[in-house]
Chain A
Amino acid sequence: MSRVSSLPVTRRTLLKAGSVSALGIGTLSACGSGGAGGTTDLSFHQSKPEVIGYFDELIKKFNAAHPKLDVTHDATTSLVAGFVREQPPDLALENYLLDVGNFVTRGALSDLSDLPEAKMIDPLVRDEVRQYASYRDETSVLPYSVTAAGVVYNKSLFEKHQQQVPTTWDELIGVCKVFQEAGVTPIYATYVDTWTTSQGLFDYVGGSMVDVAAFYDQLRQEGGDVGPDSPVSFSKDFAPAVDRMLELTKYFNENANSRDYGDGNVAFAKGEAAMYLQGPWAIGEISKLDPKMQLGTFPLGATDDPADAKARINFDLALWIPRGSSTRRQAVELLTFLMQPDVINKYNQDNLGFSPLKNAPKVTDPRIEGLQPAFDAGRIYQGAGTYVPPTIPLPNYLQELVITKNAELFLSRMDKDWARLAARTSA
Chain B
Amino acid sequence: MTVQTSGVTATEAGLPKERAVTATGHSALPKGQRLDRVYLWMLLPGVVLFTLFITLPALMGIFFSFTNYAGFGSWKFVGLTNYTAMFDDPRILDSYGFTLQFAFVTTILANAVAFALALGLHNKIKFKAPLRTVFFIPMVISGIVIAYVFNFLFSTSIPAIATSLGITSLQESILANPSWAWVAIVLVSTWQSVPGAMIIYLAGLLAISPEVYEAASIDGASAWRKFTKVTFPLMIGYVIINTILSFKNYLNVYDIIVGLTNGGPGTETFSVAMTIFTGFTSGDYAYQMANAVVFFIVTVVFSLAQLRLLSGRQVSL
> Residues of A with Cβ closer than 8 Å to B?
8-9, 11, 13-14, 16-18, 20-21, 24-25, 80, 83-84, 99, 102-103, 106-108, 191-192, 194, 255, 257-260, 389-391, 393, 396-397, 399-400, 403-404, 417, 420, 423-425, 427
Contact partner of A400 (CB less than 8 A), chosen from B74, B266, B278, B287, is: B266
Question: Which chain B residues (169-191) contact chain A, with CB distance < 8 Å?
Answer: 172-173, 175-176, 178
Can you list 12 A-B contacts with CB-CB less than 8 angstroms, sorted by A residue number? A17-B280, A17-B281, A21-B1, A24-B61, A106-B74, A192-B264, A257-B172, A258-B155, A260-B155, A396-B263, A396-B265, A397-B266
Cross-chain contact A389 with B73 (CB below 8 angstroms) = no
Contact A194 B264 (CB under 8 A): yes
B56 x A427 contact (CB < 8 A): no
Q: Is the CB of B282 within 8 A of A396?
A: no
Instruction: Count contacts between A and B, CB distance < 8 Å.
Output: 128
B257-300 toward A: CB 8 Å interface, digit per residue (1/0)?
Answer: 01000111111101000000111111110010000000000000
CA distance A192 to B71 in the complex (A): 30
The size bracket of the interface on B is: 35 or more
7 A-B pairs with the lowest CB-CB distances in the bound complex, closest first: A400-B266, A24-B57, A17-B280, A258-B173, A257-B176, A106-B73, A390-B282
Q: Tell me the smallest distance from the CB of A301 to a CB of chain B, in Å.
A: 29
Chain A residue numbers with a CB within 8 Å of B70 are: 102, 106
Q: Contact between A397 and B267 (Cβ–Cβ < 8 Å)?
A: yes
Besides A99-B281, A258-B156, A396-B267, 17 new A-B residue pairs in contact (Cβ under 8 A), listed by A number: A9-B282, A14-B281, A84-B72, A192-B176, A258-B155, A389-B282, A389-B284, A390-B282, A391-B287, A393-B263, A396-B263, A397-B266, A397-B267, A399-B266, A400-B264, A403-B176, A403-B266
Closest to A84 in B: B72
Whether the Cβ atoms of A9 and B278 lie closer than 8 Å is yes
A24 in contact with B56 (CB, 8 Å): yes
In the complex, A133 Cα to B155 Cα: how many Å? Answer: 39
Nearest Cβ on chain B to A419's Cβ, whole angstroms: 11
* Contact of A420 with B53 at beta-carbon distance under 8 Å, contacts A8-B282, A99-B283 already known: no
Contacts of A18 in B (CB 8 A): 280
In the complex, residue of chain B having the shortest beta-carbon distance to the beta carbon of A416: B90
Query: What CA separation (Å) do A260 and B1 show in the bound complex?
Result: 32
Which one, B68, B71, B264, B277, contacts A80 given CB within 8 A?
Answer: B71
Q: Known interface pairs A258-B173, A396-B266, A400-B267. Does A390 touch B56 (Cβ–Cβ under 8 Å)?
A: no
**Which A residues are in CB contact (< 8 Å) with B175?**
192, 258
What is the minimal beta-carbon distance from A285 to any residue of chain B, in angstroms?
19
Q: A25-B60, A396-B267 are in contact. Are A107 and B73 (CB under 8 A)?
A: yes
Which of A9, A13, A102, A396 makes the CB contact (< 8 A) with B283? A102
| List of B residues within 8 angstroms of A13 by Cβ | 281
**Complex: A17 Cα to B274 Cα, angstroms:** 12
Contact at A8–B281, with CB atoms within 8 Å?
yes
Contacts A258-B155, A424-B81 given; indicate if A403 touches B178 (C-beta within 8 A): yes
If A99-B282, A390-B282 touch, whether A420 touches B88 (CB-CB below 8 Å) is yes
B72 to chain A, nearest CB (A): 4
CA of A20 to CA of B283 in the docked complex: distance in angstroms? Answer: 12
A390 touches B71 (CB 8 A): no
B282 contact set on A, CB distance < 8 A? 8-9, 99, 389-391
CB of B44 within 8 Å of the partner chain: no
In the complex, the answer to whether B172 meets A389 with C-beta atoms within 8 Å is: no
* Contact, CB under 8 Å: A404 / B53: no
CB contacts (< 8 Å) of A106 on chain B: these are: 70, 72-74
Q: Give the distance in Å from the alpha carbon of A124 to the alpha carbon of B267 in the complex.
A: 37
How many Å from the CB of A260 to the closest CB on chain B? 8
Closest to B60 in A: A24
| B283 engages A400 (CB within 8 Å) | no
Contact B277 A14 (CB under 8 A): yes
Q: Give the nearest-CB partner of A423 in chain B.
A: B85
In the complex the two chains form, is A390's CB within 8 Å of B278's CB?
A: yes
Cα A391 to Cα B1 with chains together (Å) = 21
How does the 8 Å CB contact mask read for B31-69 relative to A, with 1 for contact and 0 for none?
000000000000000000000110011001100000010
Nearest-neighbour CB distance to chain A for B254, whole angstroms, equals: 10
A158 to chain B, nearest CB (A): 29
Q: Which residues of A contact B262 (CB under 8 A)?
A: 194
CA of A107 to CA of B73, assembled, Å: 8
Q: Which of A107, A417, A427 contacts B81 (CB 8 A)?
A: A427
Is there an interface contact between B52 and A25, defined as CB atoms closer than 8 Å? Answer: yes
A residues near B178, Cβ cutoff 8 Å? 400, 403-404
Smallest CB-CB separation from B70: which chain A residue? A102
CA distance A24 to B155 in the complex (A): 39
Q: How far is the CA of A371 from the CA of B82 in the complex (A)?
A: 45
A108–B72 touching, CB < 8 Å: yes
From residue A192, how far is it (CB to closest CB) to chain B in Å?
7
A266 to chain B, nearest CB (A): 12
A399 CB contact (under 8 Å) in B72, B173, B265, B278: B265
Q: Is B89 at the interface (CB under 8 A from chain A)?
A: yes
Q: B116 CB to closest chain A CB, in angstroms?
A: 32
Q: Which one of B57, B159, B281 lies within 8 Å of A25 (CB-CB)?
A: B57
Which chain A residue lies CB-closest to B155? A258
| B270 partner residues in chain A, CB cutoff 8 A | 393, 396
| Shortest CB distance B177–A (Å) | 8
Contact of A391 with B267 at beta-carbon distance under 8 Å, contacts A24-B56, A25-B52 already known: no
Complex Cα–Cα for A215 and B32 (A):
78
Q: Which residues of A contact B159 (CB under 8 A)?
A: 255, 258
CB A101 to nearest CB in B, in angstroms, measures 9
In the complex, the answer to whether A403 meets B81 with C-beta atoms within 8 Å is: no
CA distance A272 to B268 in the complex (A): 31
B72 contact set on A, CB distance < 8 A = 80, 83-84, 103, 106, 108
| Cα–Cα, bound, A87→B82 (Å) | 29
Docked pose: A258 CA to B162 CA in angstroms: 14
When the two chains form the complex, which single residue of A20, A191, A403 contacts B280, counting CB atoms closer than 8 Å? A20
Closest to A9 in B: B281
